[in-house]
Amino acid sequence: MNKVHVIVNPFSARGKTQERWLTIKEIVRHHFKEYKYIFTEKPRQATEIARGLLKDGYDLIIGVGGDGTLNEITNGFFKHDSHQTVNEDASLGIIPSGTGSDFIRFLKIPHDFNKSVALIKHAKANKVDVGKVTFTNPTGGKESKYFINASDFGLGAEVVKNLASIPSGKKSALSYYKGLLSTIRTYHSKDVKIIIDDKEEIQGRFLIGAVANGSIFGGGMIIAPHARPDDGYFDLVLVRDMKKFEIILKSRHLYTGKIDQQPGVTVKHARNIKVFPVPYNPDIPSDVNIEYDGEVGNSLPAEFEILEKSLNFRF
């Protein structure tokens, strides 16, 4: 029998999760006779909570929230700056109660609370890949973060950075697209050098560089239509520089699952990706931002590594 603990983000879904908890709590109790729960009180707190619970012997951690909550708990499954999990036998489940929920949608996890909890109870733990991104933090030191869905550099990261100033209670599923339209007014594509698996080099001027483990990001955009979360590879999606009207015209393809068929879009499969700004001066911070699962990172250079089948996920 699993030792179960639920981590609830009451601020997710624009604060509606706190109201929903009374209903969710009874559903969880119906499926799991014994469990404990805790509410997060501030951003990033779920990571340390999850890591502590795993060290204390809990082997099924269930998050209640959206992609942000899922990312924080995923980070808690790993030791600090390590490829190793705290407990390789422990599993993660998610009860959807968020705004975007892109990875949740990608895995087709039901939004009905009873169905999602029943799935966690009865589904086997599937081994999924997790991405690790390492970059230089503002103090000059190396910092690593984990992502279960997608990370990107360029326009997408700029949008996430701009949206970070908006309170979570005011964000909606369309916030990312609105932020995209606002950001492209002043955004310019970036020159970068990309090294794939230490054997292939690409240099050019790109609008978007997405490192995808899942297919969907940005509140429903299908950035990597053929990505799989358990194949041991990222789908690296590169969108070349283009004029602003062309960006708006082609953005619709992000919702049709056909972005990879458009001229100027390249998709590569990779296990390790190193990205540098061009020109690169290690003493000067670059202006090419990074995001991971919708969280603000710092800026290039960065290294992306796939941790193959490193996390047990109930879906």
pTM of the model: 0.94
Q: What are phi and psi of 227, to 5 degrees?
A: -65, 145
Neighbours of 1 (CB within 10 A): 8
Instruction: Answer for the pair 230, 127: CB distance below 8 angstroms, yes or no.
Output: yes
Same domain, 297 and 279: yes
**Other C-beta atoms lying within 10 Å of the C-beta of residue 243:** 8
The total number of structural domains in the chain stands at: 2
* CATH number of the domain encompassing residue 25: 3.40.50.10330
Point out which residues pair with 196 in neighbouring strands. 200, 273
Task: Give the phi and the psi of residue 106 in degrees, each rounded to 5.
Answer: -60, -40
Asked if residue 234 and residue 99 are part of one domain, the reply reads: no
| 168 compared with 25, residue with greater pLDDT | 25
Residue 59 has pLDDT above 90, yes or no: yes
- Identify whether residues 153 and 243 lie together within a single domain: yes
Asked if residue 111 and residue 185 are part of one domain, the reply reads no
Q: 80: which residues sit within 8 A by CB, 6+ positions away?
A: none
**Tell me, what's the pLDDT at 82?**
83
The tokens describing 31, both together, are: 């499926």
Residues 178 and 302 in one domain: yes
Strand (E) or helix (H) holding 121: helix 113-122
Q: Pick 226 or 80 by higher pLDDT.
A: 226
Q: Is residue 186 part of a domain?
A: yes
Cβ neighbours of 167 (radius 10 Å)? 9
**305 within a domain of the structure (yes/no):** yes
168 and 291 both lie in a single domain: yes
Instruction: Please say which residue of 123, 139, 156 terminates a domain.
Output: 123
pLDDT per residue as tens digits for the range 279-301: 999 989 899 999 999 999 999 99
**Residues 253-262: pLDDT tens digits?**
999 999 999 9
Same structural domain for residues 109 and 210? no
Average model confidence (pLDDT) across the chain: 95
Give long-range contacts, CB 8 A cutoff, 24+ apart: 136-139. Answer: 136/298, 136/299, 136/301, 137/298, 138/298
CB 67 within 8 A of CB 104: yes
- Assess whether 150 and 194 both reside in one domain: yes
Cβ-based neighbour number of residue 29 at 10 Å: 12
Residue 279, preceding bond cis, omega within 30 degrees? yes
CB 41 within 8 A of CB 71: no
In sequence order, what DSSP letters do the residues of 129-179 get, joined into one string?
EEEEEEEE-TTS-EEEEEESSEEEEEHHHHHHHHHTTS-GGG--TTHHHHH
Would you give the distance in Å from CA 177 to the centre of its chain? 17
- Residues of the chain with pLDDT > 70, as a percent, come to 99
Between 283 and 278, residue with greater pLDDT: 278
Task: Judge if 82 and 217 occupy the same domain.
Answer: no
Instruction: Give the mean pLDDT of 121-146.
Output: 94
What token pair was written down for 2? 């699993």
Any domain includes 106: yes
**Cβ 136 vs Cβ 298: under 8 Å:** yes
DSSP 278: S
> Is the separation of the CB atoms in 214 and 189 below 8 Å?
no
What tens digit of pLDDT does each residue of 140-194 get?
889 999 999 999 999 999 999 999 888 766 777 788 889 999 999 999 999 999 9
Question: Are the beta carbons of 145 and 132 closer than 8 angstroms?
Answer: yes
Same domain, 182 and 281: yes
Q: Whole domain around residue 54: which residue ranges?
A: 4-123
Within-domain flag for 315: no
Q: Decide which of 123, 139, 155 is a domain's last residue.
A: 123
pLDDT at 81 over 80: no
In a domain, 304, yes or no: yes
Do 241 and 297 reside in the same domain of the chain?
Answer: yes
Read off the pLDDT of each residue in 89-116 and give the average, rounded to a whole number.
96
pLDDT score recorded for residue 131:
98
The CATH code of the domain that includes 260 is: 2.60.200.40
**Chain-centre distance of CA 235, in angstroms?**
14
Q: Are residues 189 and 118 in the same domain?
A: no
Q: Is residue 19 part of a domain?
A: yes
Q: Judge whether 287 lies within some domain.
A: yes
Identify whether 314 is part of a domain. Answer: no
More confident residue, 52 or 168: 52
Q: Last residue of a domain, which of 89, 123, 157?
A: 123
